[in-house]
Structures are given as structure tokens and as C-alpha cells.
Amino acid sequence: MKLGSDTAAVVTGGASGLGRAVAQALARQQVRTGILDMDEAAGGAVAAELGGTFARCDVADPASVAAALSWLRGAQGQERICINCAGIAPAQRTLSRGGAHDPAGFARVIGINLIGSFNVASQSAAGMATLDPLGDDAERGVIINTASIAAWDGQIGQAAYAASKAGVAGMTLPMARDLARIGIRVMAIAPGIFQTAMVSGFVPEVQEALARHAQFPARLGRPEEFAALACHIVENPMLNGEVIRLDAGARMPPR
Ligand SMILES: NC(=O)c1ccc[n+]([C@@H]2O[C@H](COP(=O)([O-])OP(=O)(O)OC[C@H]3O[C@@H](n4cnc5c(N)ncnc54)[C@H](O)[C@@H]3O)[C@@H](O)[C@H]2O)c1
């Protein structure tokens, strides 16, 4: 699918980090870009900077997603591109100080990272299905979800996070199969360690230690490198049903 002013996109988590970089990259290509995020102040500021649209939304709540998508579609038209970057990454061990993992905390991570991605993707697909197909391939839309290398290499304290991201990776192929009939592709990107708010809160020594797991280049990823892959996925019709690791060859050890 071509990026341009005749196309609208929705980016969740667009107030910060990877989502913000994706929204900026799409807006640079003149795509009408709408941001969904919990963070009203930061999301509104990014939308204003891009000349885009913002709607406050809790992706874990299907009614909030429906209201926010409806508002964005009123402002910028039905999206053909849906990129899910909203997510959280709290750490907790399965047992800590003899006590079991807080069940509500586990459910919250699954609710935002996995169910939240599915809420937005499935509701976005329902809207895309109403659009005319485009081009020789009769393509209607593209959905990109954000997994993580933790889907395979989850570290100590990442049981909930890794489970949520393994779920995102696992639903990629069946969603692509479900939506193939109506010309919608579904992909996932599994980033290694990227320089965003999720990581910049760590002390510099921890950031340096994380960067050392990358083979080459041995540094943290830049959000614009994630955005470049997201834009390529939108533009390349042969990419479908796959999870792409974007990690400079990193394989994470237990800690
Ligand atoms: N940064 C990394 O190293 C890294 C690595 C692998 C995967 N990821 C994944 O990439 C995605 C983006 O992460 P990031 O590093 O940009 O983080 P970030 O903290 O900079 O941005 C996450 C955004 O999601 C929003 N958000 C959180 N909960 C939400 C909810 N319930 N509804 C709507 N918005 C919500 C936040 O307000 C924030 O703007 C996440 O899914 C994360 O798990 C990040």
C-alpha cells in the first residue's frame, strides 16, 4: 500500500517512544495520522506537532476503543493502516519474597499488551472491511502489532510481559488468515531494546548492559529504525502473517 495523503492511519501508543516515531514517519509521508493513547497531554502535543488527530483511549477497554476510533474516523476518515504500539512493561517475578505474582498485575499486562492490541486490530479491521479494495492486489488495509523479543527470550521478572508478547506473536498468522479474504494483511514487529521512555528510566549502567546483548550494532535501537520497518511493511504487499525480530542479533540471557 502506498503511503500518502489519500490514506489514514491509527497509531496506538503514539504519545511516546516507538508509536510516536511511527506517527512522525507516517505524517512525513502525508498520511492522515491519528493517535490513540492514555496520555492526553503528550498525545495531544504529538498530534498538534504532526497536524494529526488525537483521541484518548484505553486500549484494554473495547468500548473506549470503539469511541476513540469513531471519533478519529470522523476527523480523518476510515483508516487503512493500524499500528499498535501501546504497551506497558512492569517486572515481577513469579514468586517474590515467598508470595505469588499479583494476579491483577498479570491480568493488567495481558489486558493492555495482548487484548488491547486485539481490540484495536479487530475493530480497525471491521472498519477497513467497509472500504473499497485498492490496486491489482485488491488490498484494503494493513495491521501491525508490536510484540517483543521477550516473546521468546523473556528474562527474569518478565513472565507476564513475555506471555503478553508471545500472545501478540501467536495471533499474527491466524489473524492474517482470518482477514486474507478481505485483503487485509497482519504483521508483527518484535523489537529488541530500543531507546524509549520504557528504557530511558533505567540507570545508564543497565542501559549499557542491555545494549551489549546486541551483536551488531551493539547499541540500543532508535525509534526511527522501528518506524522505518513499519513503513516498509505497509508498502510491501508480500509481507503477511509473519513476526519480524528487529534486534541487531540480540538473544537475551536470563537477566
Ligand atoms: N522500548 C523497547 O525496548 C521495547 C522493546 C520491545 C517491545 N517494545 C514494545 O513496544 C511498544 C511501545 O513501547 P515504547 O518503548 O514506545 O514505550 P513507551 O512507554 O515510550 O510508550 C508506550 C505508550 O503506550 C501508552 N499506553 C500504555 N497503556 C495504554 C493503554 N492502556 N491504552 C492506550 N495507551 C497506552 C503510553 O501512554 C505510552 O504513550 C510496547 O508495546 C512495548 O512493549 C518496546
C-alpha cell recorded at residue 47: 498530534
Ligand 1 binding residues, C-beta < 6 A? 12-13, 15-19, 37-39, 57-60, 85-89, 112-113, 116, 146, 148, 191, 193-194, 196-199
- Measured in angstroms, how far is the CA atom of residue 137 from the centroid of ligand 1? 32
Is the pTM value of this prediction over 0.75? yes
- Measured in angstroms, how far is the CA atom of residue 207 from the centroid of ligand 1? 17
> Yes or no: is domain 8-193+222-244 CATH 3.40.50.720?
yes
What positions carry a catalytic annotation?
Answer: 161
Mean per-residue pLDDT of the chain: 97
- Specify whether the CB–CB gap between 142 and 133 falls below 8 A: no
The pLDDT tens digits of the residues spanning 122-170 come to 999 999 999 999 999 999 999 999 999 999 999 999 999 999 999 999 9
pLDDT of residue 208: 85
User: Could you tell me the pLDDT band of residue 229, with boundaries at 50, 70 and 90?
Assistant: very high
Residue 201 has pLDDT above 90, yes or no: no
- Measured in angstroms, how far is the CA atom of residue 250 from the centroid of ligand 1? 20
Residue 204 has pLDDT above 90, yes or no: no
Residue 56 has pLDDT above 90, yes or no: yes
Could you give the CA distance from residue 55 to residue 103 in angstroms, rounded to a whole number?
30
Per DSSP, 88 falls in state -
Could you give the CA distance from residue 88 to residue 90 in angstroms, rounded to a whole number?
6
Ligand 1 nearest atom to the CA of residue 21, by list position = 16
Residue 199 has pLDDT above 90, yes or no: no
Per DSSP, 245 falls in state E
Q: Whose CA is nearest to atom 17 of ligand 1?
A: 198
